[in-house]
Structure 1
Amino acid sequence: MEGLCGSSLTFFSDQRLCCADVLPPAEARARIEVAVLSFLRALTSPDPAISHLPLINRTLSNSRVNHGLLTDVSWIFLSHSFCTRSLTRANATKAFIRVWKVMEMCYPILLQEKRVTQRELYYKLLCTSSEYFTSQLQVNKAIQDTVALLRCSRYSLGIMTSGRGLVAGRLLLQEPNKEIVDCCSCGSSGYPISGDLNLLEKLIMKTDARYIILVEKHAIFQRLVDDHVFNQIPSILITAKGYPDIATR
């Protein structure tokens, strides 16, 4: 870590910091601490090198995720392209401040080893930093910048999405210290897939299904469940109501 605290913010573009899994809270906090120390050292140096800062370069070519969906990696970066933004421009300055505000909010969450959804984080930031955050989109972009700059997953920062996925069919699920859920008996609404990846890892699952059927449209999923397709074809039905979130994948 010592080598990362140079006169410039090389920490943010150091490819060695890439990881292939969710970081433990202590390591995520350490990366935030190193980012702060790097910034302060650059700020207080005789020749400050912070007039330009690397943030995500959002263009049409990298605005959609096209990597990581079919790999063994448990997370994906939303963008891999960086641009330098001058602090002399008001918009770039605010974007950079938003990144620090997100890290400031995530640090105590990591300290308590808790989780918040992006929506919860938006309301927290709206209460404490309303001059910098006025919409959910600004929070989402700031989270993307933070994830890319710290080279870790969003979940590593204690941020999770609200669960969107549903599952139904020949599957028995049991959460720790809870009753067994029969996904054949959940009705057309199905069983909601939690956005908490830690909880998903602890699920006990039993099935005699021979197929997993992925359904893009929620309405089609409901129709198939109503028709009890999983009794005709021994299967498990899964939908994410469109583009799949990480928990559903």
Structure 2
Amino acid sequence: MSKRGGGTEQALALAKGKKIRAAEDVLKQVKALAAELKSNNEAEKTLTELNLPYNCREVVDKDTDEVLSEIEAAIYGVAASIMDGEGFSFDIPSRAKGNQMYVPELDRIVLRDTVSKRPFANTATCRKAAITSRILGLVHELVGKRIHVTKRDLFYTDVKLFEDQGQSDAVLDDLACMLGCTRSSLNVVASEKGVVVGRLSFREDGDFIDCQRMGVGGKAIPPNIDKVSDISSDAAFILLVEKDAAFMRLAEDRFYNTYPCIILTAKGQPDVATRLFLKRLKSSLKIPVLALVDSDPYGLKILSVYMKGSMNMSYDSSNLTTPDIKWLGVRPSDLDRFNIPQQCRLPMSEEDIKTGRRLLEEDFIRANPEWVKELELMLATKVKAEIQALSSFGFQYLTQVYLPLKLQEGDWI
């Protein structure tokens, strides 16, 4: 009937007892979801409107003059403290896990407004205070000159002091939180990581970009989202993909031509630019976001960062999160439903199981009963599977059968 690895779409679909209909019919459920989103004109809630019994800290985009004023005010405060005989220290918002919490009304993680001292005259914090002063000076220079650098560039300005990039990166986040501005407002960006392809066009710093003409590799997501304008698309949905391998398959098969969509990936753990870009697309286009991740605890963890925010950047969760992403696959229940071969199902390690159990304890997971059900199934069977397990039925099974069937049936949670 069909050859292994190169069979027709219909033969493979019928083997599962399902028939894939025409593209218009496949997308009916997606379009219904899009219509529901567009009809929901409810404005996104803010922390201020909730009147919570505790204070929280959030940041906003600030222009050059505002950032310069904040930095200069911080330095003036340090100088005044020294003149008053109280010593040299910074007031740094605490980003520790204990200071973060999930707010169901916002459906994301927020940072409570607890501040700690970072004094120079203390052996435990003197080095970090020095790093804070150094980066504050470097950011002042960048913003004043109106130029942008990568986090790696920043690290190489003083390797001896910073020792490793993790330390300079952490202090950069501290400063954004302290100054009340987004990290991008500090003119320091992450290196390009995420890519996008499909039914999308926009201008990047004035240059016209057509993402249908970017080949298999796609267009690198701009590290400075502020330079993106004139976003236009006829896509029915956004497909968020965990891994580069699945992205390449989708791009090479021109999946977006048959099923009009925008496909993007951060190639694993989501970076800030990809999260900002996804939020911008969702806000501008008002179309559903469907996620394709591995059927393992880390796939769900990655998805939760896009939706609820990360612990490291909880202070900027309002700008970085896209709460209403739908989990399309690969879900634990899909393994039996699509008869994934046993040899493609991997045993979960002890660390996998611990991560899964920790996820089950998270408030944002408990808030979604269907997620709980899938995660409990994963832990009960103690097996996981990658998106690539679908290739056991043929290299194009993902694009020709699995995704069309999932879309056709509206099988997302």
Same fold (TM over 0.5): yes
In 1, the alpha carbon distance for the partners of 2:68 and 2:186 equals 8
- Residue 226 of structure 2 is aligned to residue 198 of structure 1: yes
Q: CA deviation at 1:197?
A: 2.0
Question: 1:103-114, aligned counterparts within 5 Å?
Answer: 103-114=136-147
Cα displacement string for residues 16-50 of structure 1 (whole angstroms, at most 9, x for unaligned residues): 9x6653111111111111111111111111xx223
Computing the radius of gyration over CA atoms, which structure comes out larger, 1 or 2? 2
| Aligned counterpart for 2:200 among listed residues 168, 171, 180 | 171
Aligned partner of 1:6 in structure 2 is none
Residues 35, 234 of structure 1: alpha-carbon distance in 2 compared, 3 angstrom cutoff: same
CA spacing shift, 1:185–1:28, aligned 2, 3 Å:
same
Number of the residue aligned with 2:267: 241
Q: Is the 8 A contact 2:151 2:190 kept in 1?
A: yes
Secondary structure in structure 1 of the residue aligned to 2:216: coil
Equivalent residue, structure 2, for 1:50: 87
Which of 100-109 and 150-159 deviates more?
Answer: 150-159
Task: String of CA shifts for 1:147-194, please: whole Å, max 9, x gaps.
Answer: 22222221222111122221111223343553x433223222111111
Which residue of structure 2 aligns with residue 122 of structure 1?
155
Mapped to 2, the partners of 1:79 and 1:135 lie a distance apart of: 28
User: What's the counterpart of residue 247 of structure 2?
Assistant: 221
Gap runs ≥5 in structure 1: 1-14
The change in CA–CA distance for 1:116 and 1:52 in structure 2 (over 3 A counts) is closer
Partner of residue 181 from structure 1, selected from 205, 209, 215: 209
| Structure 1 counterpart of 2:136, one-letter code | M
Aligned to 1:10: none
**Following the alignment from structure 1 to structure 2, what is the Cα–Cα distance between the partners of residues 175 and 151?**
26
Distance 2:216 2:155 in 1: 31
Residue identity in the other structure for 1:113: R
Indicate conservation of the 8 Å contact 1:77/1:148, yes or no. no
- Superposed counterparts of 1:1-249, under 5 Å: 20-45=59-84, 48-50=85-87, 54-55=91-92, 57=94, 59-61=96-98, 81-85=114-118, 87-126=120-159, 130=160, 132-178=161-207, 180-200=208-228, 202=229, 204-249=230-275
| Cα pair 1:162 1:194 within 8 Å, conserved | no
Q: What CA distance in whole angstroms lies between the structure 2 residues aligned with 1:78 and 1:123?
A: 30
Give 1:228 deviation, angstroms: 1.3
CA contact 2:82–2:88 (8 Å) conserved in 1: no
TM-score (norm 1): 0.75
The answer (yes or no) to whether the contact 2:240–2:264 under 8 Å persists in 1 is: yes
Aligned residues: 220
1:77–1:153 Cα contact (<8 Å) kept: no
Q: Distance in 2 between matches of 1:150 and 1:19?
A: 10
Q: Is the 8 A contact 1:79 1:148 kept in 2?
A: no
Residues 141 and 246 of structure 1, relative CA distance in 2, 3 Å threshold: closer
RMSD: 3.2
Unaligned runs of 5+ in 2: 1-54, 276-413
Distance in 1 of aligned mates of 2:118 and 2:78? 15
Name the structure with the higher helix share. Answer: 2
Q: CA deviation at 1:146?
A: 1.5
Instruction: Give the Cα–Cα distance (whole angstroms) in 1 for the partners of residues 140 and 114 of structure 2.
Output: 26
The DSSP-based 3-state class of the residue aligned with 1:91 is coil
Q: CA deviation at 1:91?
A: 3.4
Q: Measured at CA, do residues 212 and 38 of structure 1 come closer, stay the same or move farther in structure 2, by a change above 3 Å?
A: same
